[in-house]
Amino acid sequence: MGVALKRAGYEFTIFDGADGFGGTWRHNTYPGAACDVPSHLYSFSFALNPRWSKTYATQPEILAYLEGVARHHGLDEHLRAGTRVGSAAWSDERQSWTVTTASGSVETFDVIVTAVGMLDIPNIPHIPGIERFRGRVFHSSRWDHSRSVTGERVGSIGTGASAIQYVPAIARDVLSLTVFQRTPIWVSPRFDEPFTDEQMRTFTDQPEQMQALRDYIWQQYEDASFDAGDEQTRKATELARSYLHRKVHDPDLRAKLTPAYPVGCKRPLLSRDWFPTLTAPHVRLVTVGVSEYTEAGLLTADGEEHELDTVIYGTGFTAADYLSSLSITGTAGRTLHDEWSDGAEAYLGTTVSGYPNLFTLYGPNTNGVNSILYIHEAQVRYVMSALDLLAESGARSIDVKAQVQADYNQRLQDAMHGTVWLANCNNYYRHPSGKVVTQLPYSGGEFARRTQRVDPADYDLT
């Protein structure tokens, strides 16, 4: 967004609570953190990188890439680091937004764009007795690097995308590792190969080769099916089942690790280390629920006490609570928190009726089908098209028509029927109301086509 605004010559400020660029790739520094979308696709189309070290780059390399792109495009001078935004309020009278930071400073803007994502607020489980626990506790996205886990008795709660990366990464160092699993997940092997110097030279000298690789990966994502009844879903589930059978021979452990839902209902995971780690002698998978903390560790519902020095929450994020860290007030005093109490919705994930000149990158129903950076770039083009329309028309504000938004969401929720996301599992894609608020039921290419430019007929211009 910053690059596009800079190119178009806008005045803008980027607020970030952290001390630099990178967002999730700045916060998630847990051991083993990496992206499981191949890096040649998990990068910006305008900043392809011939020097990705391997198929799936690790967090330090991705953070350095993001900081490098920001620096190259002169975004540092626009960054207000260490500055959390608390609220934003629209003034009907002035036709502008007032932004108040957490420290109380107030500024006015014509347009605001949120880019806080949906994986920003850690989901912290409420386990009674935490005050009496003598060990330490932290969330995977706020890793405590002040003390190593080497030689410790570690407990880890959760078995999602984060845990399956850090659990194997710390296993070799710890004295013992207890993995508390509530629901098993499907895991397929991840083929992660380093790029040779020769390949990097080819990508540098012949960028069309790098583009071809990117296009090939993109197409694989486009061809993926999210239909629960599809042959592709059945095959993917059977492949994951046979991988589990090959890697885990103990029938009890295998049964505990076997999900009862199709691949895709929860985010599909890739790892060649997860199953071998769980079969190591000092690693134990516990499937009985955690009931409370004791002074020495965690008590499970069967009355067993697990003595631990460190407890790590791999418990994910409050993903379905869009923009919950911001208080946003639109026209006539309406608030997003109230309006989204039954689950967030927007038009094309990007604009919300009653909130003129507000754009939501990684907004409702934009997740899950292709590299998220591809989706973000499509959204950015759409925002720039809205700004062009404002400039051309001489209007001060642009607000999506309520009926346009309602029709879009009706069709979108209709398209959810029969998808894997509504199959028999619990996942973070759904709001407690049952509505799928995070996932996009169309392909990335379809989303990019729909967001190519703003249709003035969809909007009220004032």
Residues 89-128 that bind ligand NAP (CB under 6 A): 119, 123, 125
**Candidate list 160, 297, 356, 363; residue touching ligand NAP; CB under 6 A:** 160
Q: To the nearest whole angstrom, how small is the minimum distance from the Cβ of residue 370 to ligand NAP? A: 13
- The stretch among 34-42, 167-175, 229-237, 410-418 that binds ligand NAP (CB under 6 A) is 34-42
By CB under 6 A, residue 375 contacts ligand NAP: no
Nearest to 118 by CA among 382, 331, 429: 429
By CB under 6 A, residue 314 contacts ligand NAP: yes
Residue with Cβ nearer ligand NAP (36 or 460): 36
- The stretch among 130-138, 154-162, 323-331, 376-384 that binds ligand NAP (CB under 6 A) is 154-162
Length of the chain: 462
Q: To the nearest whole angstrom, how small is the minimum distance from the Cβ of residue 416 to ligand NAP? A: 18
Measured at the alpha carbon of residue 7, what is the angle toward residues 4 and 8, in degrees to the nearest 5? 85
Residue pair 81/20 in contact by the 8 Å Cβ criterion:
yes
Residue pair 239/267 in contact by the 8 Å Cβ criterion:
no
Strands (E) in 232-356, as ranges, are: 269-270, 283-286, 290-293, 297-300, 305-307, 310-313, 327-329
Residue with Cβ nearer ligand NAP (270 or 400): 270
Q: Which helix (H) or strand (E) holds 346?
A: none
By CB under 6 A, residue 202 contacts ligand NAP: no
Q: How far is the C-alpha of 105 from the C-alpha of 122, rounded, in Å?
A: 26
Residue 345 corresponds to which tokens in the numbers above?
């919705």
Residue 89 corresponds to which tokens in the numbers above?
């309020």
Q: To the nearest whole angstrom, how small is the minimum distance from the Cβ of residue 425 to ligand NAP? A: 8
- The CA–CA distances, whole Å, from 283 to 156, 171, 174, 255 equal 11, 8, 9, 17
Q: To the nearest whole angstrom, how small is the minimum distance from the Cβ of residue 314 to ligand NAP? A: 5
By CB under 6 A, residue 38 contacts ligand NAP: no
- The stretch among 68-76, 160-168, 251-259, 276-284 that binds ligand NAP (CB under 6 A) is 160-168
Q: To the nearest whole angstrom, how small is the minimum distance from the Cβ of residue 243 to ligand NAP? A: 18
Backbone CA torsion sign across 29, 163, 215, 23: negative
Residue 36 corresponds to which tokens in the numbers above?
């499981």
Phi-psi region of 194 (alpha: psi -120 to 50; beta: other; left: phi over 0): beta
Fill in the amino acid letter for 237: T
Residue with Cβ nearer ligand NAP (157 or 244): 157
By CB under 6 A, residue 41 contacts ligand NAP: no
**Candidate list 157, 228, 320, 420; residue touching ligand NAP; CB under 6 A:** 157
Q: To the nearest whole angstrom, how small is the minimum distance from the Cβ of residue 83 to ligand NAP? A: 25
- What is the end-to-end Cα distance of the chain in Å, rounded? 24
- The stretch among 59-67, 212-220, 312-320, 439-447 that binds ligand NAP (CB under 6 A) is 312-320
By CB under 6 A, residue 142 contacts ligand NAP: no
Q: How far is the C-alpha of 391 from the C-alpha of 386, rounded, in Å?
A: 9
Residue with Cβ nearer ligand NAP (73 or 256): 256
By CB under 6 A, residue 412 contacts ligand NAP: no
Fill in the amino acid letter for 113: V
Binding site for ligand NAP (CB under 6 A): 34-37, 119, 123, 125, 140, 157-163, 165, 182-183, 267, 314-317, 426, 428
